[in-house]
Structure 1
Amino acid sequence: MSDKNGWSVRNLATPSPFEFAMMLLSLLSVVLVLVMTFGHLDGETNRLLFFIDTSICLIFLAHFFVGLFRSRDKRFYLRHHWIDFVASIPAIEALRIARVFQILRVIRLIRMSHAYLIPLIKQRKQTTLASLLVSMVTILTFASILILIVENGAEGANIQTAEQAIWWALVTISTVGYGDYYPVTTSGHIIGGVVIVSGVSFFGVITGYMASVFVSPDDNEHHQRNEAHKAEIKSELELALARMEANQRQMEQNQAQILAQIAELEKALSNKK
C-alpha cells in the first residue's frame, strides 16, 4: 500500500493533507454542480459557476497527473483512480455526475475525522499549504458569486459579468484594490469588507508559512536527525550490553579458576595430613 498518491477508498485510512483538501474541494464542486443543475439562476451567474467549476476541475486534473507521475505502479493507480479522472473533466455535463461518488469518501472522512487530526497536525507544512488552497478557492467562489448576485442589476453597478466578479474577488482578496470594479450597494460593501479581512488573514498565514520554511528546520531533516540519534543511542546501548556480557563471562571464568585452585589446595592439604 505504499503506492497511494490519490483519493482511493483503500487509501482513505491515512490520507495526506492534499488528499484531504481534494475531498473538501470535491464537496464544494458537487454543491456547484447541484446549484447549476437545479438552481434557477440568471445567465451570468451560471457562467460564473461554470468558470469556478472549471478551475476546480483543473486543480483535480493537476492532482491526478501528479499522483500518476509519482506512482510506481501506473496500472494500479489508473485502475483505482480512473473515476477521479472522469469526474475532473470540465465542460462535459454528463461526467459531472461522477463526482457524486466522491461524496462517499467525504462522508467516510467526516465520520473518521477524529482519527485524521493527529496525523495531519504532524504534517504541518503540507497541512498549511492544503488549507491555504482550500481557503483560497472557497473565498474566491463565495465572494464572486455573492458580489455578482447583489450587484447585478443594481443602479450604477459596474460588476455585471462573471469575468468582472472573478476579477473583483481576486483583486480584493489580494488587497491590491485597483478600483476598476467596485461594489455600489450596501450588501456589496459588506461582502467586500469580509473579503478584505479574509485576504489580510490569508496572506498573513502565507507570510508566516514562508518565514517558518526559512527559519524552522525542515520536517524531514529533523525526522532524519531524530532517527539517526535514536540509532546512535541504540548502538551504544547494544555495545554496552555486549561489554557487560563479556565482563560477566570473564568473571565467571575467573571464578571457576579460583574455585579450581581452592579445590587443588584443599586436596594438597588433605594429602599432607
Structure 2
Amino acid sequence: MRSEWRLLVFAGVFLVAYATPILFPHLPYDWKLTCWLAQLGCWLLFLAEYAVRFARAGDKKAFAKDNVLDLLVILLPLMMPLRMLQRRLGFQRKVLTFTATTTLVLGLAASLAVLRVERDAPGATILTFGDATWWAVTTMTTTGYGDTYPVTPDGRLIGAALMLGGVALLGVVTATLASWFGRRFDTGDDTEKLLREALKEIGELKEMLRSRG
C-alpha cells in the first residue's frame, strides 16, 4: 500500500512538472530544464516499477493482460489515480468515482496539452488555460460551442482523442445505469420498460446538449 501512495505522489510531481512550463511559459531556462528532468525521472520510475513486476510475474502474458491500466500509466502518468481505484474498489461501487476521476484526468491532460500546442499558433483561439479548460469541457460533453477550437494538426488530434474519450465515458455511464436498473427492478416486463425509459432520457439529454451548441 505504501508503494502505491508513493507512486501517487510521484504522479502529482509529474503533473506539477508538466503543467508549470505550460502555465508559465516565460520561466527561465533552468526552471524549464528542472521540470523536464522531474518528468523524466518520474516516468523512469513508473517504467522501472512496471518492469520489475513484469519480470517477477510467473505468467507474463496473463500479467500484461490483467495490468493494461498499469501500462497506460507509463504512457500517461496522470492516470495513476485510476490504477489505485481499480485495485481498491469493486466495479459497481467505484463506477461513479472512476468516471469522475477519468473525466477530470482526461480534461486536465487535454487542456494542458492543447494549450501547449495551440497558444503560439497563427489564428489560435485557445490562448489561455481558461480557454483550454472551456474547450475541453465542451468537447468532452459533445456540446462544441465553436468559440474555441484547435487550429494545429496536433491540437486536432488531441481533440479527436478527447471526443472519443467523452463518448466512451457516456457509454460507461449508460451501461452502468442499465445494469443497475436491471438488478434493482428485476421484475420481467417492468425492467425492460424502465431500461427503455432510462436510455431514452439519456439520449434526449445528449441531443439537448448538442442543440445548445
TM-score, with structure 1 as normaliser: 0.41
Structure 1 pair 23–133 and aligned structure 2 pair: CA distance change class (3 A)? farther
Tell me, which stretches of 5 or more residues in structure 1 are unaligned?
Answer: 1-7, 13-19, 47-99, 219-273
Q: Show the counterpart of 1:29.
A: 12
Decide whether the 8 Å contact of 1:45 with 1:145 is kept in 2. Answer: no
Structure 1 pair 30–42 and aligned structure 2 pair: CA distance change class (3 A)? closer
Structure 1 pair 175–183 and aligned structure 2 pair: CA distance change class (3 A)? same
Alpha-carbon distance between aligned partners in 1 of 2:9 and 2:93, rounded to the nearest angstrom: 19
| Among 13, 24, 27, the residue aligned to 1:43 | 24
Structure 1 pair 27–129 and aligned structure 2 pair: CA distance change class (3 A)? farther
Whichever of the two has the greater Rg, that structure is: 1
1:61-210 equivalences under 5 Å are 123-210=90-177
Tell me, which stretches of 5 or more residues in structure 2 are unaligned?
Answer: 28-41, 54-62, 67-82, 186-213
Structure 1 pair 135–187 and aligned structure 2 pair: CA distance change class (3 A)? same
* Runs of 4+, deviation exceeding 3 Å: 22-28, 39-42, 119-122
- Highest relative contact order (Cα 8 Å, sep 6+), 1 or 2? 1
Decide whether the 8 Å contact of 2:107 with 2:133 is kept in 1. Answer: yes
Identity fraction in percent: 31
Alpha-carbon distance between aligned partners in 1 of 2:89 and 2:114, rounded to the nearest angstrom: 38
Matched positions, count: 139
Which residue identity lines up with residue 11 of structure 2 in the other structure?
L
TM-score, with structure 2 as normaliser: 0.52
What is the CA RMSD across the aligned residues, in angstroms? 4.1
Structure 1 pair 201–23 and aligned structure 2 pair: CA distance change class (3 A)? farther
Deviations 1:12-44 (A, max 9, x none): 9xxxxxxx8x988655322122335xx644526
